[in-house]
Amino acid sequence: MRKITFGTDGWRGIIADDFTFENVKIVAQAIAEYVSEVYENPTIIIGYDYRFHSENFAKVCAEVLSSNAIHVLLSKQPIPTPAVAHAVVKKGVSGAIMITASHNPYYYNGIKFIPHYGGPANTQITDKIVKNVGRIQKEGLGSLNPDEKLIEYFDHKEEYINDVLNLIDKKAFEGKTLKVLVNPMYGCGIGYVDEALKRLGCEVKVINNWRDPLFGGHLPEPNLENMKDLLEVIKSEKFDLGLATDGDADRFGVVNPDGEYISANEVIFMLADYLIKTRGRASTIARTVATTSMLDKIAEKHNMRCIETPVGFKYIAECLMKEDALIGGEESGGLSIKGHVPEKDGILADLLVAEAVAKLQKSPKEILKSIESEYGKLYNKRIDVRTTHQKKEEALERIKNFGKSEVAGLKCTEYRTRDGLKVILENSSWFLVRPSGTEDLIRIYGESPDEKKLEEILLDVKGYLGL
């Protein structure tokens, strides 16, 4: 029997290998038992993405929950993860199951559990669900008797779009016609970013806006490598902005009018600076350990605190809920803001970028240049090193016993081990080493005000780890 493993954002597996209807029933039953124990007369929302069989996996989850006398609100059509999180809070229900593998390859699917607060489930919650999974696998699932009367269908698109637009400064678009190229990457952002932009008075062209479970042969992740079609179109026609969302629309992608990709790190600090100036300060900004320290500089300038969290948006969510964070983000392309649900939202992020471009009458690159003229420029990079299991273990031992006093000629001034190994170097440089929990893969992140020095840092660290 294959092990069902929950990562930082739920359970994901290969369709027809470990992600099977039988295993989906087991996870759904584990969630049913958890919510029945924690909530009185629970109601659970079920959403799903455009992946192969997602609607059928969702229906199976609804049947399992109804067999446990749980009221189910099942989406009538594919729905973005942030819209599901929004529905949880708006409807005041006990939580949600989202069938998605987000930005993973097409042959994956997954299950996310979103608790009543509308953000990623914390470790305490997932530990209880995982414990239930183990027991059910051992004892067997037992017979299920679905109650169709407990399964109700709903459509949350209009309510979600209206509320997200209430977070946008509509006046910024008045008297201007922003021309935007939108790429939902065959995912759940179809009909969301483009529809919202049209309501703001933008001229919109959309590509890849139909269901393709193969995602056009690319990962549904809005990064430079996977958005070459958007880059070609934006360079061949005149646009003010290019925007994208990933498979379940919780991650964003931004492209300059000249076809230059704007990294997630750049988008996050651009929006942090913009929101402080247009929405007012809050007490904190939150970022993961792997995310740019430009946010620290911006926070310090405005007498705000920048909180560093482990990787995983569930930690950012805690800051948004408990620490009065104005914005929280991660370098992998997720962010949310104060006043919204504590779940990463690529749709909202895209609309905020459009607002900034419209209000400031500058391209994203021009906005970034003005920020960097004030704070200085930081270069950052991540390299993923695939290796053997033995070499990974040897590298982990070297990480554990890291004793270098300098890297690439820069002194090590601080060592942080909350999530992997992060070493702060002089000259505002740093590097982070994090092993994958599921693959023979080690990720090395780095940042420096000197682009050449950044390459030296990464090379030195990689060599030290024997990779």
Q: Tokens for 342? A: 């504590």
Strand, helix or coil at 404? Answer: coil
Taking each helix axis as running N to C, give the angle between helix 21-38 and helix 123-139, from 0 to 180 degrees, rounded to the nearest 10.
Answer: 120
**For position 194, what pLDDT does the model report?**
98
Pick from 296, 292, 301, 338: nearest CA to 319: 338
**For position 142, what pLDDT does the model report?**
86
**For position 1, what pLDDT does the model report?**
55
Host H or E run for residue 448: strand 441-448
Pairwise CA distance, residues 358 & 355, whole Å? 5
**For position 439, what pLDDT does the model report?**
76
Q: In the chain, helix, strand, coil percent, each to 5? A: 40, 25, 35
Q: Are 320 and 338 in contact (CB under 8 A)?
A: yes
Host H or E run for residue 158: helix 157-165
Pairwise CA distance, residues 213 & 218, whole Å? 11
Pick from 145, 136, 193: nearest CA to 168: 193
**For position 361, what pLDDT does the model report?**
97
The model's pTM is 0.95
Q: Tokens for 271? A: 């929006």
**For position 316, what pLDDT does the model report?**
97
pLDDT in tens, the chain (467 residues): 567 777 767 899 999 999 999 999 999 999 999 999 999 999 999 999 999 999 999 999 999 999 999 999 999 999 999 999 999 999 999 999 999 999 999 999 999 999 999 999 999 999 999 999 999 999 999 889 999 999 999 999 999 999 999 999 999 999 999 999 999 999 999 999 999 999 999 999 999 999 999 999 999 999 999 999 999 999 999 999 999 999 999 999 999 999 999 999 999 999 999 999 999 888 999 999 999 999 999 999 999 999 999 999 999 999 999 998 999 999 999 999 999 999 999 999 999 999 999 999 999 999 999 999 999 999 999 999 999 989 999 988 998 889 889 999 999 999 999 999 999 999 999 999 998 876 788 999 999 999 999 999 999 999 999 88
Q: Are 464 and 398 in contact (CB under 8 A)?
A: yes
* DSSP bridge pairs for 206: 182
DSSP characters for 11-29?
A: EEEEBTTTB-HHHHHHHHH
**For position 27, what pLDDT does the model report?**
96
Place of tokens 């959403």: 47
**Rg for the chain, CA atoms, rounded:** 22
**For position 8, what pLDDT does the model report?**
65
* DSSP bridge pairs for 352: none
DSSP characters for 51-84?
A: STTHHHHHHHHHHHHHHTT-EEEEESS---HHHH
220: amino acid identity, one letter: P
Which structural domains are found in the chain, ordered by start?
6-155 (3.40.120.10), 160-262 (3.40.120.10), 266-344 (3.40.120.10), 379-464 (3.30.310.50)
Q: Are 127 and 121 in contact (CB under 8 A)?
A: no
CA angle 253, 340, 29 (to 5 degrees): 90
Q: Are 90 and 159 in contact (CB under 8 A)?
A: yes
Strand, helix or coil at 465? Answer: coil
Q: Are 296 and 214 in contact (CB under 8 A)?
A: no
Pairwise CA distance, residues 267 & 262, whole Å? 7
**For position 440, what pLDDT does the model report?**
84
Give, as one character, the DSSP assignment of residue 208: S
Q: Are 465 and 405 in contact (CB under 8 A)?
A: no
**Where in 149-288 does DSSP place strands (E)?**
151-154, 179-183, 203-206, 241-245, 252-255, 261-262, 284-288
Q: Are 425 and 412 in contact (CB under 8 A)?
A: yes
Give the CB-side neighbour count of residue 378, counting CA atoms within 13 A. Answer: 26
Give, as one character, the DSSP assignment of residue 458: H
**For position 2, what pLDDT does the model report?**
64
Q: Are 374 and 220 in contact (CB under 8 A)?
A: no
Cα of first residue to Cα of last residue in the chain, in angstroms, is: 33
Q: Tokens for 35? A: 């919510």
